[in-house]
Amino acid sequence: MIGLSVRARNILDDLIAFPTISSDSNLAMIDYIRALLERAGIASSLIFNEERTKANVFASIGPKDRPGVLLSGHSDVVPVAGQAWTSDPFRVVERHGNLYGRGTADMKGFIACVLAVAEQLAPRTLAKPYQMVFSYDEEVGCIGVRRVIDQLPSLATLPELCIVGEPTMMEPVIAHKGKVAGHIKCTGHSCHSSQALDGLNAIHLANDMITSIRKQQDIILNGAIRDDGFTVPVTTLHIGTIKGGTALNIVPSECNLEFEIRNIPSQNADDLLDVLFDQARQLTERVSERFPGTGVAIEIFNRYPGLATPSDSPALTRVQRLVESNAAGKISFGTEGGLFNEQLGVPVIVCGPGDIAQAHKPDEFVSMAQLDACLVFLERLSSELIAA
């Protein structure tokens, strides 16, 4: 175990040194992972993005014709610009049993543990496969993993369990919210503000859309669709940005909003979107007769589903046993787990080292105790896969 612990720590040092911010290529890190696997005798497949500037990697140890366990992590990290770091974010620094660096918790610590155990497992004969997926562009809307999900059925037998190693302090998590992100583009008709009635104010159109969104939130707050397992127990709708107008004496012709919906898994986000699209259509009908080309258009630019693994799922019991915890948490941040479950029907449990409270912040860290807990978990899982 001490040897494994040191090995995971060394791999983590290497992984953190790749500044894989989502806007940049992750290929250097993927090459490193691929070479590491190759040295251990493990074949891997790369699944590139359209521009071939980023890739997901899939690898598997053990039989191809049996369902095993898929360990899933993302290779990208959030930016460090504007954050006050005590030390270089792309070099692991140890202080008081904690390892500091961008991505230590979210989620290269998990990836390092998965790789260290893979090396150890490679020469063994497995009854069920130990599968790994490391994706790109998770932090910008779970983009990369969608390509893996499309190809997984042709690469391997679908797993009986998928573990998404996002930081949960090694407590099993069964649910997270879904998310829809969209633009609302309001087009008005410009004129001098002294003639305001001759124009159509795009900001006023946007205001009608904001009112509609706020009304939906009120309906939800007074309604019955809630899940008290979540810290925020209801679906939320919110406007994040508003841009419109050029000068006070001009009736603005453009106003653009960005909005998001974070839905609890038992609430269908499409029902809420339908109301917004209806409202946009009605507004457009009302104004475009007098001012052709004006109105409101909505464009969804990203969405991923929520995750809701049943609390009586054997997948949960299995992970609870392996990490010696009875927890069945519900988290407020999204993961790739919702997509794995929705697209492939695979049971998903989110469980990984570190605390989400440290993620995305300056001086992000994971404790060495958490990495060791993750290694214990993966070793127990390995024993199951050998013996199965």
Tell me which residues touch Zn ion (CB under 5 A).
106-107, 166
Residue matched to tokens 């060495």: 368
Kindly state the smallest distance separating residue 180's Cβ from Zn ion, in Å: 19
Angle between helices 145-155 and 337-344 (to 10 degrees): 40
Q: Which is nearer to Zn ion, 77 or 272 (CB)?
A: 77
Q: Which is nearer to Zn ion, 108 or 185 (CB)?
A: 108
Kindly state the smallest distance separating residue 102's Cβ from Zn ion, in Å: 12
Q: Which is nearer to Zn ion, 104 or 382 (CB)?
A: 104
* Residue 153 to residues 69, 72, 144, Cα–Cα distance (Å): 14, 16, 16
**Secondary structure letter of residue 84 according to DSSP:** -
Q: Which is nearer to Zn ion, 104 or 309 (CB)?
A: 104
Choose the catalytic residue: 76, 227, 336, 364: 76
Tell me the three state secondary structure of residue 205.
helix
Annotated active-site residue 218? The verdict is: no
Residue 349: phi and psi, rounded to 5, are -125, 135
Q: Which residues contact 272 (CB under 8 A, 6 or more apart)?
A: 216, 235, 237, 261, 263
Kindly state the smallest distance separating residue 300's Cβ from Zn ion, in Å: 22
Q: Hey, what's the torsion of the CAs at 324, 328, 330, 334, to 10 degrees? A: 60
Kindly state the smallest distance separating residue 74's Cβ from Zn ion, in Å: 6
State the DSSP H helix or E strand holding residue 15, giving kind and residue range, or none if neither.
helix 2-16
Q: Which residue is nearest to Zn ion (CB)?
A: 106
Residue 173: phi and psi, rounded to 5, are -125, 135
State the DSSP H helix or E strand holding residue 154, giving kind and residue range, or none if neither.
helix 145-155
Kindly state the smallest distance separating residue 386's Cβ from Zn ion, in Å: 29
- Are residues 247 and 260 in contact, defined by beta-carbon separation less than 8 angstroms? no
Annotated active-site residue 278? The verdict is: no
Kindly state the smallest distance separating residue 107's Cβ from Zn ion, in Å: 5
Q: Which is nearer to Zn ion, 107 or 220 (CB)?
A: 107
Q: Which is nearer to Zn ion, 139 or 363 (CB)?
A: 139
Choose the catalytic residue: 119, 137, 138, 336: 138
N residues, the chain: 388
How far is residue 22's CA from residue 26's CA, in Å, rounded to a whole number? Answer: 8
Q: Which is nearer to Zn ion, 106 or 137 (CB)?
A: 106
* Residue 72 to residues 2, 11, 57, 164, 370, Cα–Cα distance (Å): 24, 17, 10, 5, 18
Give me the residues paired with residue 38 across strands.
none
First to last CA, the chain: 22
Kindly state the smallest distance separating residue 106's Cβ from Zn ion, in Å: 4
Please say whether the dihedral angle defined by the alpha carbons of residues 232, 171, 382 and 371, taken in this order, is positive or negative.
positive
What are the residue numbers of the active site?
76, 138
